[in-house]
Amino acid sequence: MRVVFMGTPDFSVPTLMEIVGQGHEVVAVYSQPPRPAGRGMEERKSPVHQAAEKLGLPVFTPSSLKSEEEQEKFRALDVDVAVVVAYGLLLPKAILDAPRDGCLNLHGSKLPRWRGAAPIQRAIMAGDAETAVQVMRMDVGLDTGDVCMSETIAIGQAMTAQDLHDHMMVLGADLMGRALAALSREALGSKPQLEDGVTYAKKIDKTESRIDFSKPAAEVHNIIRGLSPFPGAWVEMTIRGKPLRVKLLRSELVDGTGAPGTLLDGAMTVACGDGAVRLIELQRAGKGAMKADVFQRGADLKVGEVIA
């Protein structure tokens, strides 16, 4: 099939590779424009942009698709289908209508639950036991299109957003490959989403990332793993006399009682409003991630200290 691929981050790359590997003709790749990044703030091409160039594919990086000029350029590609995976730009109706077989989107939730920008993080933060990766026919609504294919994913108690992201991007690439194979045979069906159970996965706000140990331990644990590694749940600790921000990357639920935020033992167990969490992996500003025992040796925190 003649395909235009639209994606930006690492999450999108395996799907692009799968489509190329299946022998489809990728006539163009759309990705967000290069952004300043790194210490030198030099402009850096997106992971999809870099992967497409290695494959010898033409890459377009418009900042918007709203202009008639960009829409005409898109229509002129004359494609069967557009595959969209975490592209990050709004697709106007003129773009959605241009491919002969429409636009297929890979979405990381069990629609209609968690429509929107941050479905992976929100599912974990809410304590969901399962989620899904789905291929959806796009329409003008926010993740409201008919669902073509779906694979359910169990969310383990220790799974972080990064863990789920990595699993989902591999499974999603395979799912989109199967969807395109079915589409090429004119055998790709779809079903409307249920009207009940709609929730929205709004973009993560920085104000959500500071941990409040007065909340129940299960909620604290879910926020830690749901925001790991980015933007990262954090607390302030006094380490050798200096107040420092520390990211909490992994934790587990354990028994324990005490005033919220109190360090209960030398194994980095912290009391919550109900129960306790044991911190497993932490990261100080400017340092790499480290296991709790290594962190504790360097921080020399005392039992009974309060972390906020």
Condensed to tens digits (0 to 9), the pLDDT of residues 240-294 reads: 888 999 999 999 999 999 999 999 999 999 999 999 999 999 999 889 999 999 9
What are the structural domain ranges in the chain? 2-200, 206-299
Please name the amino acid found at residue 132. A
Mean pLDDT (the chain) is 96
pLDDT at 144: 97
pLDDT at 175: 98
Q: Which CATH class is domain 2-200?
A: alpha beta
Greater confidence (93 vs 298) lies with 93
- Rounded to an integer, the average pLDDT of 164-175 is 98
- The two domains 2-200 and 206-299 share their CATH topology (first three levels equal): no
Is 242 marked as a binding-site residue? Answer: no
Is 58 marked as a binding-site residue? Answer: no
User: Residue 282: how many CA atoms within 13 Å on its side-chain side?
Assistant: 23
pLDDT at 41: 75
pLDDT at 241: 84
- Does the domain formed by 206-299 have CATH 2.40.50.140? no
Task: Examine the pLDDT at 124 and tell me if it is beyond 80.
Answer: yes
Task: Examine the pLDDT at 61 and tell me if it is beyond 80.
Answer: yes
Is 184 marked as a binding-site residue? Answer: no
| pLDDT tens per residue across span 90-119 | 999 999 999 999 999 999 999 999 999 999
Helix, strand or coil for residue 92? coil
Is 111 marked as a binding-site residue? Answer: yes
Task: Examine the pLDDT at 60 and tell me if it is beyond 90.
Answer: yes
- Rounded to an integer, the average pLDDT of 151-158 is 98
pLDDT at 20: 98
Q: What is the pTM for the complete model shown?
A: 0.95
- Percent pLDDT > 90 in the chain is 94
Task: Examine the pLDDT at 176 and tell me if it is beyond 80.
Answer: yes
pLDDT at 9: 97
